Chain A
């Protein structure tokens, strides 16, 4: 079975400071991993994905994520947070050879960037 854990319900960071939103996963075999962002009363927007290749993935709005196979983690990072980054962030996973099974999402982490 596939699963995703986002251990923090809420992350607070000061504007200009680096931010990290944590994600760990469990799949059989190699994973496809995704990060999405959601603003109030909107659908989820794609930020970045890891399929194969470099462990550091760069995405939209200056975000990046580091894939760590030994720790089964895919933490989202940004060097300098903006107030406009405040939103709900979701990590999602499915197994590489799972035959198009649906993505499994974490419960989300609310990021609050304080000016």
Chain B
């Protein structure tokens, strides 16, 4: 997972609490993505950003918020409005310019558990 760092690895949230997951990259990639992974449901897109100070909702954005104040950082906040936040959260990055299409580089993930 070189070049992209997710922290913390494990996170516990109490009912009604907001928590923030960190995603940092040093590869100078343009685009950053947040996915949620649940058993049997694959990866579902929460938010993504292709440029600083701009981001787009994915398929399951409700109860989540993001910011992109710096190119290297794309934090995800899980708000109290997210009723079932227990999941594995994955951050991914990709460049958007160059000679060909690129796949994503993924972080090692954050496992969030509601206690």
Contacts and interface: CB of A to CB of B under 8 A. Distances in A.
Interface residues of A, number: 22
A43 B33 contact: no
A44 interface: yes
Nearest to A32: B101
A102 B88 CA distance: 19
B43 A90 contact: yes
Interface string B49-60: 010000000100
Contacts of A9: 40
A34 interface: yes
Nearest to A46: B103
B106 A107 contact: no
A77 B103 CA distance: 19
B80 interface: no
Interface residues of B, number: 27
Contacts of B111: 41
B42 A42 contact: no
A44 B33 CA distance: 13
B11 to A, nearest CB: 13
Interface of B: 1, 6, 31, 33, 35, 40-43, 45, 48, 50, 58, 88, 90, 92, 96, 100-101, 103-109, 111
17 contacts: A9-B40, A32-B101, A34-B103, A41-B88, A42-B1, A43-B90, A43-B106, A43-B107, A43-B109, A44-B92, A46-B103, A51-B101, A90-B42, A90-B43, A100-B31, A102-B33, A102-B45
